[in-house]
Amino acid sequence: MPYSTIFLINERRVKKARVSSILVYKTIIMSNETKSIHEFDIQLICEYFSSLERQGPGSEEATIKALSFIDNLTDQSQILDLGCGSGGQTMVIAENAPGTIFGMDLFPLFINALNANASKRGFQNRAKGILGSMDNIPFDKESFDLIWSEGAIYNIGYKQGLTYWNQFIKKGGYVAVSEATWLTLNRPSEIEEFWNSAYPGIADIGQKTKEMLECGFTPVASFVLPERCWTENFYHPQKKAQKIFLEKYADSPTAHELVANEIKEAEYYQRYKEYYGYVFYIGKKI
Ligand SMILES: C[S@@+](CC[C@H](N)C(=O)[O-])C[C@H]1O[C@@H](n2cnc3c(N)ncnc32)[C@H](O)[C@@H]1O
C-alpha cells in the first residue's frame, strides 16, 4: 500500500506505520520520553505537506458546491473547520460564506500558515487558526452553526467524529465532511486490501449516509469529488514539492520514503480511481 511513513507514538511504544498520505496525519500522540526521537520525522512530514496549498484532495469548486447546501448562515454564524491543515478550504469558506470561522489543526506549521494567509487576504477578523485536536473541542456545546472537515474526519473515524461533533452544533445547524468512500460494490483485491489496511472505516455511500442518520443528522446531500481534485489539485503539485524537498533533505531516509510513498499512492489512484474517491456528505442536525 501507499503510503507515507508516519510514526504513531503511543505511550512508550513507537510504531512505524505505513499509511496513505490521505491518512498521513493519523493521530500522532507523543509522549515526552519519545518525542525528541521522532520530532524530526514529524517536522519533516509537516514541512512537506505545508509546502502544498492543500494537504488532501479537494477543490475550491467542491467546497463552494458543498456550501451551497447550507442555508442557515449569517454574519453572526460560527463555523469550525476541523483538521484544517494550512487552510486551503478555510479561505474558500471565508470568501463565500458569512460569519466567523475557526480552523483547528494539531500542527503549528499549518495553523501559522492559515493565519498568515487569512491576514494576507484581509480575513484576520473572521478566520482564525487555533491549535487543538478534533476529539477535544475547546468550545461550549451547541456553539456552531456549521462544522466543516475536508479529508480529516478519518483521524478519529467518521462515525465517532459525527457523534462527538454533533453536540457542538446548534439544532438546525449543519455538518459537512469529505470522506474516503468506495464507489463500486466490488473492486480488485489489491486496492481493497490497501484501503482496508490503511483505513478500515472506508465504506460505500449508502453505508456512510446511514451512519450520518444514526449520528443524528438528516442527510441533505452527497456528491463525489471530481477526479481533478486528486490529480491537478493534489498529486500534480507534489511533483515540484518533491524535487525541492529531496534536494533539501537528500540524506534523510524519511524524506526519501515519504516521497516514494507519495508517488506510489498517486500511481494507485491512477490505476484504481473508478473504485474509490472522496465523497462530500452534508447533514443537518435534527
Ligand atoms: C489530509 S489532511 C487535510 C487537510 C485539509 N483539510 C485539506 O483538505 O487540505 C488531514 C489534516 O488533519 C489534521 N489532523 C490529524 N489529526 C488531527 C486531530 N486529532 N485534530 C485536528 N487535526 C488533525 C492533520 O494535521 C492534517 O492537516
In tens digits, what is the pLDDT along the chain, a chain of 286 residues? 233 323 332 222 233 333 334 444 443 433 344 444 466 688 899 999 988 989 999 999 999 999 999 999 999 999 999 999 999 999 999 999 999 999 999 999 999 999 999 999 999 999 999 999 999 999 999 999 999 999 999 999 999 999 999 999 999 999 999 999 999 999 999 999 999 998 999 999 999 999 999 999 999 999 999 999 999 999 999 999 999 999 999 999 999 999 999 999 999 999 999 999 999 999 999 9
Indicate which atom in ligand 1 lies nearest the CA of residue 27: 16
Q: Are 270 and 230 a contacting pair, CB within 8 Å? A: no
Q: Is the same domain home to 40 and 66?
A: no
> Angle between the 236-248 and 32-50 helix axes, to the nearest 10 degrees?
130
- 42, part of any domain: yes
Q: Is the same domain home to 147 and 217?
A: yes
Taking alpha carbons only, the member of 124, 70, 117 closest to residue 97 is 70
Which residue's alpha carbon is nearest to atom 26 within ligand 1?
A: 85
Residues spanned by the domain of 101? 60-228+277-285
Q: Is the same domain home to 129 and 28?
A: no
Which residue's alpha carbon is nearest to atom 19 within ligand 1?
A: 133
Q: Is the same domain home to 85 and 221?
A: yes
283 lines ligand 1 (CB under 6 A): no
Residue 238 CA from chain centroid, whole number: 17
Residue 154 Cα to ligand 1 midpoint, Å, equals 9
When divided into structural domains, the chain yields a total of: 2
What amino acid occupies position 139? F
Q: Is the same domain home to 65 and 181?
A: yes
Residue 105 Cα to ligand 1 midpoint, Å, equals 6
CB contact set of 178 (below 8 Å; sequence gap of 6+): 56, 57, 58, 62, 66, 149, 150, 151, 225, 278, 279, 280, 281
- 176, part of any domain: yes
| pLDDT the model gives residue 108 | 95
Coil vs helix vs strand at 131: strand
| pLDDT the model gives residue 41 | 84
Residue 132 CA from chain centroid, whole number: 14
10 Å CB burial of residue 163 (0-12, 13-18, 19+) is middle
| pLDDT the model gives residue 31 | 39
Cell numbers describing residue 8 = 504513531
Helices (H), the chain: 32-50, 60-67, 88-96, 108-120, 158-166, 189-198, 205-214, 236-248, 253-272
| pLDDT the model gives residue 42 | 86
Taking alpha carbons only, the member of 45, 6, 46, 49 closest to residue 29 is 6
Q: Is the same domain home to 79 and 212?
A: yes
